[in-house]
Structure 1
């Protein structure tokens, strides 16, 4: 067990006590330190931070911004040590010789200063130094509040050119050249006015002198004065004309000098713009590098400030998220499998329905084509029968007999009658043409004669059995009454 002791802090110090009987951190100027308690002395005096930030304006023009910030822990009344507690926690992670706090403060100031400068034009930064200082002060203070730090003073010095990007030097040279050119123009105008005035005064003097001389000469010699007067008048006009021409020459010379000065200025501006284009690209790349550095430094600071409890909490959260993700993926896999099965069944049903529809469409198409064929055959037969009927002079019985003979109707009737009278005793007629054949003497017309002799008994037999008369163009049966 330790011995209790009484501790008193210095004028610019504060005691941070932790341990037995203290929930978190107790800040005191003096304290009676008990056993199992620990006391750390905090230096709360402000510190000056001098630095030179390389920033870039909204026109992508690089420059140096020298500045001095006086920063220290924010000390308020004793009842509210919230900011000082944040500062004590920050100091607990650094030893006395560490530059961690200094690097932290400089990183915040430089980062916010660059971001603010990038949103303003060079003219706004140059002319509004007071407003720029206030903006930097507000934005940096907002970032430092989370560490319990307070800006007691901020001083932004004169802007400085980056080597190789002499914007302010060129700006001064531009101003000097403009002033010099304007002075040259003013001198030329003054010289022009002086010379013109002198010439005018000289001309007026000579005119007055010539006028007086002419008047005197006229008074003395009136008879010869008219000629001399005219001569003096002509000489005076010539002199005035010469003076006017000289004034015009001087004016033209002045205009030419102005144009030459403008051309020289334009050429110089073009060279400066070409050089600045390269400088702007280099500044953009440098700004990207600075952003990466600031990001890495910020991440490093966050990693250093994380506590073990935060790490354990993140591990638990990751494990819970991993388990939830695993279950979600299993559920999604089961749902995906069910969806695929349903899609397969729907695809089979669609295929079967499509096959049935195609079969029905094929059958319907065959029926349609068959009907079209029958209709075509009917039309052809109608045309065929119409042409035969026309050739027969619209003799319908002759058309009927022709169709029956052509389609073999008589042969079918004979076959049907032969089958019907099988086993019966029909009336059978036998024709013989032997005598006639002998009388023909065996000529080539013997067969034709025999065929014609067989027609009358054949037609009579058909008439008796069916009641049908032979066509008139073929034969006529005798009347048996």
Structure 2
């Protein structure tokens, strides 16, 4: 048993007796049947020179340096400890695994971008690479502290970036020449503009001076004219004020006189109005009382008529309701009687042995047979039926008697049909008598 302490950049990993999986700590007492290992969480730099191909299938070299170390989370430290336990104690295998992840994810990101996007959007490209690599390193308990992507370089046999550099250099040189020429042109134009502007300012000052002198003379003449006009206006204003004051005094006197007369007329009008209004008010109140009395009388008569009609309507409604109730009760009793009768008929059908026997019973009970016989008698009354009687004799003991009976019965049958209906048999079958009288044959 011994006491172990980890360095600031280390953690202790304990396994063995009393520990289910692994235990991560900074200090611990190591008991017998336990093993203590040290893991370093200090970040390390991993320099790479990646070969990638863009969306346009252009190859380039991407120098980059990644700073990678263990995450400080407990579960991440456990994954990191397992990673070291499965490999050697140095970082060679860890760097190999990390390098493979970075190369694979970088190629995936580059293959989805164009060369122009990789070159211009360097920060977006860097963030995508870090995000994808971090997702893969998380399962090993590692994290990316920093990623530095250097300048893109051409692969052997490619001159893409060198040509772009030359293009940019030539463009900058040409732009410098244009800028120098433009600056020289602006200087000459500016010098000419300054000279012209100086001449324009001198001429403008001279013209402004002459204009100011003219304005001063005009202003002086205007001031003199205004002074004279003002003096005249003041004199006229004094005269007008005097006349106005006089007229206002006269108007005020007339207005007061008018008010006095108006007050007198109003007083007389109010006196006459009070007298006439009093008479009108008395007459109106008398008419109102008369109208109210007539209205009250008519209203009471209308109320009495309405009450009478209402009572008559209630009486009619009550009478019709009772009649309807009586009719309903009668129909209900009739329906109940029919129901009881149908039950009795059902029992009678069972007693008689079936519907046919019940029908015969009802016909006998209601006298249907007698009525049918009477109706048949009335139907054949006054008829004269023809009756044919034939005697074929006795033929007992004769073997040919049945055949002979058929042949003997045929002529009477044909004669009867002829006598009753007037239909004669064919001439080849039998010859009927001419007179049609009844005959007796033996």
Q: Same fold (TM over 0.5)?
A: no
Normalising by structure 1, we get a TM-score of: 0.36
Q: Which has the higher contact order (CA 8 A, sep 6+)?
A: 1
